[in-house]
Amino acid sequence: MTDATPTYDEFSLFHENAAEAGLPFDGPPVVRREFLEVAPGRRVSALVWGHGPPELVLLHGGGQNAHTWDTVALALDRPLVAVDLPGHGHSDWPQESAWLDPARMADDVATVIARLAPEAAGVVGMSLGGATSIALATRHPELVRRLLLVDITPGVNGDKTSDIAAFLSGPETFATFDEILQRTIDFNPTRSESSLRRGVLHNSVQLPDGTWAWRHQVGRPSADTGLHVERTDFRTLWDALGTIAVPVLLARGSRSPVVDDDDVAEFLRRRPDDEVIVVEDSGHSIQGDKPRELAAIIEEFVGGP
């Protein structure tokens, strides 16, 4: 690595995603960033891909942002919306002390979907985005026609996410871009440096004093409302999951500790008519480890355009 300050254009890196995944690339995709007011003085941002009405909604995990779906979106090659959850990416930081409450986050996301993708054929939610999407499907059922959960169930707890918590609870700022990138590499030894560099570029910002910080507020030690993964308890969502009236698919990473066999058994007990798919050689972030495989799962589950 070189300790040079990188230049950043969030729409200039798609060719790297395509090349790394072995996808065809005939030129930059049509992508725009939108900002929608979800409460007075507070906005949620989203990436809108393609022409025409969006057919899918993608919700990322805690500490991530909408760009985590870039390779999946390129593989899908269909209109969709990838949302920056509140407190992440370019979305404003909520003021409520319980900002991580999936119900509150679902209400914000519902405002975005109602404006940008009201007829979407399916919602895909990974980790925190999956918990939010369970609440979304119960509080705003008219917006969810199919639900794909990416390596998340209400059985998630601090023991299962201890590595994630350790990563997110790191320094509040970093002296250089190389420092924030190196920490990311250290916690993601199976991912390529180029993919992690893209992720850090999308997920960090250089402060006026020259230091670097994450765009999200998750796990920051000084943030009173920041998420500490080990404190998050989504078990109350089991009952909500059981009441969802549309098909639900669970995609589980074979190397991820976040969803275990007991979680799968409980998922199938609550939803005996639904399915669990195991994505081999994938960790928790299936969209990063196996984006083409996940895109194929989405296509099969939601159906063609």
- Mean of pLDDT over the chain: 90
Task: Give the predicted TM-score (pTM) of the model.
Answer: 0.93
**Mean pLDDT of the 5-9 span:** 84
CB 148 within 8 A of CB 249: yes
67 is catalytic: no
**Mean pLDDT of the 96-120 span:** 87
The residues, any chain, with a CB within 8 Å of residue 189's CB and separated by 6 or more, are none
**What is the distance between the alpha carbons of residues 65 and 215, in angstroms, rounded to a whole number?**
9
**What is the distance between the alpha carbons of residues 141 and 291, in angstroms, rounded to a whole number?**
27
| pLDDT for the residue numbered 223 | 43
The number of domains in the chain is 1
Would you place residue 229 in the very low, low, confident or very high pLDDT band (cuts 50, 70, 90)? Answer: very low
**Mean pLDDT of the 258-278 span:** 97
Assigned domain for 185 exists: no
Find the helix or strand (DSSP H, E) in which 265 lies: helix 261-270
Catalytic residue among 178, 284, 285, 289: 284
Which amino acid is it at 270?
A: R
284 is catalytic: yes
107 is catalytic: no
Assigned domain for 92 exists: yes
pLDDT of residue 221 exceeding 90, the answer is no
Q: Helix, strand or coil for residue 15? A: helix
Assigned domain for 73 exists: yes
CB 13 within 8 A of CB 25: no
**Mean pLDDT of the 217-246 span:** 68
By the 10 Å C-beta count (0-12 exposed, 13-18 middle, 19+ buried), 115 is classed as middle
Find the helix or strand (DSSP H, E) in which 126 lies: strand 122-126
Assigned domain for 194 exists: no
Assigned domain for 217 exists: no
202 closest CA partner among 110, 62, 65: 65
Range(s) of the domain holding residue 291 = 14-157+235-302
pLDDT of residue 157 exceeding 90, the answer is no
Catalytic residue among 107, 151, 178, 289: 151
Assigned domain for 226 exists: no
Catalytic residue among 45, 67, 91, 127: 127
Assigned domain for 230 exists: no
**Residue 72: which CATH number?**
3.40.50.1820
Give me 206's structure tokens: 């250089």
Find where tokens 């690339």 sit: 25
Assigned domain for 195 exists: no
| pLDDT for the residue numbered 305 | 57
- 10-62 confidence digits (pLDDT tens): 999 999 999 999 999 999 999 999 999 999 999 999 999 999 999 999 999 99
pLDDT of residue 231 exceeding 80, the answer is no
287 closest CA partner among 126, 176, 134, 136: 126
Chain centroid to CA 289: 13
**What is the distance between the alpha carbons of residues 189 and 187, in angstroms, rounded to a whole number?**
6
CB 154 within 8 A of CB 131: yes
